[in-house]
Amino acid sequence: MQAHELEKQGHDRLIAHSDSTRTPHEDHEAILCLSAEKTQKKTRERRRESRFRIGGFAGMAEVSMCSSSERAELSPEEERVLVRDIAIAAEANSKEGDTFYLITQRWWQYWIDYVNQDQSTNINDGSSLSDHCDSGGSSGLYRPASIDNSDLIDDAKSEDPNMGIEIHDTLLEGRDFVLLPQEVWNQLYSWYGGGPTLPRKVISSGLSQTELAVEVYPLRLQLLVMPKGDNATIRISKKETVGELHQRACEIFDLNLEQVRVWDYYGHQKHALMSDMDKTLDDANIQMDQDILVEVLNDVNGCFSASKGASRNCGSELSQNHNLATTGRELDNTYVSVGVTTRGASCGLTGLLNLGNTCFMNSAIQCLVHTPEFARYFRGDYHREINWHNPLGMAGDLALAFGELLRKLWAPGRTPVAPRPFKAKLARFAAQFSGYNQHDSQELLAFLLDGLHEDLNRVKHKPYLKSRDADGRPDEEVADEYWANHTARNDSIIVDVCQGQYKSTLVCPVCHKVSVTFDPFMYLSLPLQSTTMRSMTVTVFTCDGTALPTVTTVTVPKQGRFRDLIQAVSSSCSLKQNEELKIAEIRNHLLQRLIEDPLTSLSSIKDDDRLAAYKIPKSVKSSKLLQLIHRCQEKETSNTQAASHWKPYGTPLLSSIPLDGETTRSEVQKIVQKMLSPLLKVECLGDTDFSQPSNSDEASDQSHDISPDEASTKFKSDSIRDISGSKMETCSGLPLQMVDENNACIDLSVEEEKAITLSKSSKFIVVYFDWSEKLLGMFDMNYLENLPEVFRYGPVMKKARNEPLSLYTCLESFLREEPLVPDDMWNCPQCKEQRQASKKLDLWRLPNVLVIHLKRFSYSRSMKHKIETFVNFPVHDFDLTNYVASKNNSQRQLYELYALTNHYGSMGSGHYTAHIKLLDENRWYNFDDSHISPINEEEVKSAAAYVLFYRRVKTNDANGNGAVRGRSYQ
């Protein structure tokens, strides 16, 4: 899984000096060396070489700009040289407070090609601008148009006057934009104009605060006013002071400074009163997208209004359940009593300092540290189990670093610990966790457990073992064999505590070969329901004239097969015993394909496809499908004459036509008349005067006043005969054309009793219906014109409150049989072919500590998405007895929650915390980096829950029935 978010510290882009090659990072960071001696030396070298680097400039000295009159005299080569000289002159004076400008990568690259078009080669490697200027480009390029940064702008968010111009949250330097120093931007802007202008400030950053960074994404804060309930969103640099934040709040809400005080209200909990006006927001640990509480003095009694126990969700509404009016002195005393750190003699309440976007690591570490089995193990003599020579491990370094950190966190005292040594060891073992980017806490957790296992593996020399196929042997025997083979190679405290086993069954869809394996697992990644199921919209047509077309939306497994869709639609449209369903993909008003193979993967049907389902009688005798294709006239006007031709229109219809005996043209007419009968407008049922067609919209509204069955009943045979008479296009029948076996069209509106020859080789009998304007006025064609897409994306509609998604439901989705994805085909040993087999998982052996990962983050090439669904997970009595396939153990499989990580915010920015239960105290605490505070058990459940940690409960109920008579932790 990729790192999926940028966190709270401003999402800075660090400036890289031009003596190193810059590579774009997801959070726009690159290290800047600040040595003045190196800066001057490199500047002198670049002056000699006439080279410089774009995208990584330090501060720039002032240089004069060309006027617009001078611009007309400059060639591309002169532009290139002038911009190069500006950058060289300015580069040596980098300092905090300089301004950089974002410019769209698309425009910038075109300008680079334009000024290099006379060169011999073209290089675009993100190196220096002089490299670009001295390299070749395409010849014959036109001068660039004005600068257009519109593709960087988030128009929806830019409508907020307090936010200014907002850019998209997911922009990447080098891919979407380039950062230009002010002098370079000014020069380009004087030549080309355009915009909008997107300035960003250079700030000091890093642990030592000696690195320079361009703050591409300043802090976005939600200001919440109490007791008024007003709210506003602002952008402010993390280097601004608390005093400036006070000033901004007062300006927005029209308040006096003496009237307000401001609180760090992260997670809707008061963490600190922000009263030090000279302190920066960075030093105050204010994070991206967090809440700031603005308390207003009560005019009546001169007191501040406090909000105690406010809602923890991320909305802008504050809970009013416990609003208190207290004096400032009383409120301050209350805050002191529940301060940042907790009191008492209990150990294990030490926080971890945030080193910069390391909340993902802190939350996972705290959950592992507070796992009792690990706490006992690493506080004991674990050194004797370190595998110093395991090539898959880290020579014990990771285990030693984790053990040392665990001991510090369990030591007496409340001083937060900086996990720098551990992070350094982790980065050596996994380079992706180096630096200070935000990452996925579950990804870190999985990697850490695996790394600790390899460092602590008791097996020094792994034997080579090959598991045999089941070959009909009892599952218990095969499972024990697989587990014995696994533990012969893997034996550590991690295996003892966290690893379980599941049964995996694969079935070939062709030869039905069954393959059973028993594999170990470290954690369960449970998909949320919306990630395993898919909504599909299908329009259902009847061929017997008994009902109007209906649109139905069904829910099917996302990785399901066509048979799942058939079953769902059949149930939705109340398919009768003597009917069958034909589903077709419609494209360009034609039947693209008839989906008949029940094993066809539903992934082959895209969201923007259009599906039609046809209810037709089950064929007892030999029959064929009649496909009715609608056509209308399209007029074309050329310079010399006007012409018209027939083009496909609407949605084709299907019906069955028997092959026994002779088939006459009139019989085809009757089949088509019956198919179209529900669409005839009510006022046209007995009216044969087609000279004044009714208004289509009015007729459509009137036709809805009666039921489809009534409309069909009113469409009597005499009315059909009247429609088929001479008054309709002077023909004796409907204007139908049938395609014969020679691909010629036969007019079915004449010689009705004449027999026709049906092709025996073709699956379909194709008939065209040529619609005149008069006929279009008689029928409600909306049902044929507007075929909906399988799934249409749009604004998320507010749904009625349903029962919350249960953790048991997520587990059942994980264990449900489903086909493998097309990219993960199975090589069937019997077919000797790659097959999209069906896969079924069953829990077989459960660990003492069960880690459950809720898959809230999904990725695709064009979209990243977080699922905010609330999952109702049990805190006590998580009963997995009925989900374990092995029946050897008669005891109930009960678990209790003792820890979990939470993720607040969106994919673009967010924050991790942990809820942990100290078992000795039987009390829950919130671990938010260095902040630790007690919480009620009711607060543990939220939509932010991400990774759950359960411990097995040992019960005295040997039968697995009835209430638990006694329990203890194993």
Residue-wise pLDDT for 240-252, tens only, equals 999 999 999 898 8
**Cα-based distances in Å from 419 to 271, 290, 409, 583, 742:** 22, 24, 10, 59, 81
Query: Does this chain's domain 77-114+143-215 share its CATH topology with 530-634+646-679+735-742+761-793?
Result: no
Check if the beta carbon of residue 828 is closer than 8 Å to that of residue 463.
no
Domain residue extents for the chain: 77-114+143-215, 219-296, 530-634+646-679+735-742+761-793
Is 498 an annotated catalytic residue? no
Q: How far apart are CA 923 and CA 932, in angstroms?
A: 13
**Cα-based distances in Å from 185 to 109, 192, 198, 418:** 15, 10, 10, 41
Alpha carbon 918 to its chain centroid, in Å, reads 34
Q: Tokens 């009892």 belong to which residue?
A: 474
Which of 17, 911, 915, 931 does the annotation list as catalytic? 911
% of the chain beyond a pLDDT of 70: 72
Q: How far apart are CA 222 and CA 291, in angstroms?
A: 5
Q: Check whether 769 has a pLDDT greater than 60.
A: yes
Check if the beta carbon of residue 320 is closer than 8 Å to that of residue 309.
no
Q: Tokens 């680079």 belong to which residue?
A: 112
- List the CATH code of the domain at 219-296: 3.10.20.90
Q: What is the pLDDT of residues 419-445, one digit of tens each?
A: 988 988 888 778 788 777 788 899 999
- DSSP state string for 443-456: HHHHHHHHHHHHHT
Q: What is the model's pTM?
A: 0.48
Q: How far apart are CA 22 and CA 6, in angstroms?
A: 20
Q: Check whether 401 has a pLDDT greater than 90.
A: yes
Cβ neighbours of 553 (radius 10 Å): 14
Q: Give the model's pLDDT for residue 964.
A: 39
Which of 4, 28, 133, 359 does the annotation list as catalytic? 359
Q: How far apart are CA 219 and CA 6, in angstroms?
A: 12
Cβ neighbours of 484 (radius 10 Å): 11
User: Could you report how far apart the first and last alpha carbons of the chain are, in Å?
Assistant: 33
> H or E element: which one contains 132?
helix 129-133
165: buried, middle or exposed (CB in 10 Å: 19+, 13-18, 0-12)? middle
Check if the beta carbon of residue 147 is closer than 8 Å to that of residue 194.
yes
Q: Give the model's pLDDT for residue 492.
A: 95
**Cα-based distances in Å from 179 to 83, 173, 192, 925, 948:** 14, 8, 17, 43, 41
May I ask the CATH class of domain 77-114+143-215? alpha beta
Question: In the numeric block, which tokens belong to residue 132?
Answer: 């670009």
Q: What is the pLDDT of residues 263-288, one digit of tens each?
A: 888 767 777 888 889 988 877 878 77
> What does the pLDDT average to over 151-156?
82
- DSSP state string for 18-46: TTS-----TT--------HHHHHHHHHHH
Is 530-634+646-679+735-742+761-793 a domain of CATH 3.30.450.20? Answer: no
Map residue 225 onto helix, strand or coil. Answer: strand
Burial 568-588 (b: 16+ CB within 10 A, else e): bbbebbebeeebebbbbbbee
Radius of gyration from C-alpha coordinates of the chain: 36
Q: Give the model's pLDDT for residue 57.
A: 35
Best CA proximity match to 680, nearest among 539, 613, 785, 775: 775
Q: Give the model's pLDDT for residue 556.
A: 86
Strand partners of residue 360: none
Best CA proximity match to 303, nearest among 324, 326, 334: 326
Whole-number mean pLDDT of the chain?
75
- Quote the strand ranges of 93-209, DSSP E: 99-104, 147-148, 177-181, 194-195, 199-205
**Cα-based distances in Å from 244 to 274, 275, 685:** 11, 12, 76
Alpha carbon 344 to its chain centroid, in Å, reads 43
What DSSP state is assigned to residue 590? E
Check if the beta carbon of residue 160 is closer than 8 Å to that of residue 233.
yes
Q: How far apart are CA 456 and CA 483, in angstroms?
A: 19
Q: What is the pLDDT of residues 703-720, one digit of tens each?
A: 334 343 443 333 433 443
Q: Check whether 934 has a pLDDT greater than 50.
A: yes
Q: Give the model's pLDDT for residue 842.
A: 93
Is 911 an annotated catalytic residue? yes
